[in-house]
Chain A
Amino acid sequence: MKLNAEEKAMLAGEFGPVPQIAIRHQITVGDFFGAQDFVPVSQAHVMADTESLGEAGVRWLETLASEKVGRNRVCIPTITDPRGTDFTKASALRQAPWMLSLERRAIDSFVKLGVSMTNTCINYQTIQAPVRGEHLAFGDTGVVIYSNSVCGAKSNFEGGPSAIAAGLTGRTPRYGFHLDQYRRATLRIRVEWTPVTLNDWGALGAVVGKLAGNYWSVPILEGLTEAPGSDALKHFGASMASFGSIALFHILGLTPEARQLSDVGGDRLTVAHRIGEAEIRALQANYENNDEIDVVVFSAPQLSLYEMRELAGLCEGRRFNKPLLAVTSPQVKTDADRFGFTETIETAGGHVMSGMCFYQSYAREIAEANGWKRLATNSAKLVNILGGYGYSVNLASMERCVAAAETGRLK
């Protein structure tokens, strides 16, 4: 990689060992992908729940944070993805003390490094939406795909160590979706049925993700003519990223880089797949595994204020017999409290949790501790993930999930 004077100084250790560790890591990754140079980034978003970090990752963070020589604070706005707990609800989840201790140690280190603990995977809805052309170092696949596709910003999937490195150096290797040639469509899909509910949008994202299949695929979808709104595209993108590792999609006439097919090279592609209602229903049918359920979860991505509003409306006047968990961001939680949504959901017997995500919160251990096996959710991303954690998962609309928390049955 071609380095400028500042980057050479970082690599030589002139800013201290922390930026040196960071830029060394970035150069290894940049060289692997043939990056020519670095690109400055305006924000970094760090995925770093302690289930992923483990003791080894937390120790690494502590080592960085305790360094006395040189610069050991981030130099651009650097924010965090959900934590592995909501400390106020940890007992309801039956999380073990060691989990909370690990979380506290990680948080202490992040704060010392100058990271802002936003604890959210919907920062594009709550903190600051990226703008077209903005270069970013974002973690969380759902955040990246939304920022790239809906906002027209430029980011690769940046895992926690790389996002921290970008926060410390203020740049990232210029490869992948920072380069225009990687943003052109590679797969043309015609959608012949417009999803209605959020879980339908998630299911469409899953079908597209499975068809597209890998990180370097860029699907362009035609046939969707009405803007579905932020929450629909949030579920759609998060699911596509989860099922297919996709980081960028275009929707003809809707997303900013694809006003016309030719803008992203879609005119050179023939329609490779057609997706109708039957394909979406078939995907959903894979996740109709139980008549009776143990727990209902709304999470992944965290709920927006509008989803919280809708959920509160559905919870009004009900009395739950099964646990219902609604997981949102700390920013939304404050407003949900003010607007009475939290109280409505919790009066019905549900739990509103914030700053965490269900699958990043020791999902396997809390399943065992609570006797949760059969789970219902409206998140296609969540059903994809939890299969690997031993759950029997069910994908249904928000309405059906709320009803199931009351009756114990998915009708």
Chain B
Amino acid sequence: MTQGIAKVPERVPSRVFQARQAMGKTVIGEALVAQDNFSARYDLDRIAGIFSRPTHQLVGQSYVGKILIFDTAKGGVASAWMLHEMVSRGVAPVALVFNSVNPILVQGASFADLTMLAGFDEDITLSVPSGSMVEIDGRRGVLRILDRDCADREPKER
């Protein structure tokens, strides 16, 4: 350890995670995390923009503008269309992150031009605190948990 560093530099990410699979642009948002799964058809009220399946861990919570971090994607081929439709109405998440993902969500993210990461060395649902600000780089496949102060400032600088 180097001695004498008096303060933490600004914009240092507190943790960085590398995904093996990635697509999309760089986005920043609040993470909504659950050790649960995701299906646009089965789990969501897509008009209200909330999780609606009674047994889902996030039932009642809004997913709009969030970076969703889940274990995996569940059945429902319709999700391939639904992400595009949700984006068109502005009632959509900004990125999706999974431990593992099925092709439907990948196809849907490609069609909707959403950022997506999958495949980490650690369980990503246990590594990112829900509510933290994160940055997702879809080109490099990198997820960064941003320092809270830095993250709060980020939108104002844009």
Contact = CB atoms under 8 A, between A and B. Distances in A.
Contacts of A390: 52
Given A244-B75, A384-B42, A215 B100 contact: yes
B25 interface: no
Interface in A219-275: 241-247
B72 A215 contact: yes
Contacts, number: 138
Contacts of A53: 81, 85
Interface residues of A, number: 48
B84 A388 contact: no
A161 B107 contact: yes
B125 interface: no
Interface in B50-82: 52-55, 71-82
A242 B44 CA distance: 15
A216 B100 contact: yes
A256 B100 CA distance: 28
Interface string A373-395: 00000000000110110100000
A389 to B, nearest CB: 8
Interface in A129-154: 139-141
B96 to A, nearest CB: 12
A388 B56 CA distance: 9
B103 A52 contact: no
B104 to A, nearest CB: 5
Contact of B81 (A33, A34, A48): A48
Contacts of B81: 48, 52-54, 57, 159-161
B100 A214 contact: yes
Contact of A157 (B23, B52, B55, B103): B103
A161 B102 contact: no
B72 A213 contact: yes
Contacts of A216: 100, 102
A32 B111 contact: no
B85 A243 contact: no
B21 A141 contact: no
A378 B53 CA distance: 20
A33 B107 contact: no
Given A52-B82, A214-B100, A29 B110 contact: yes
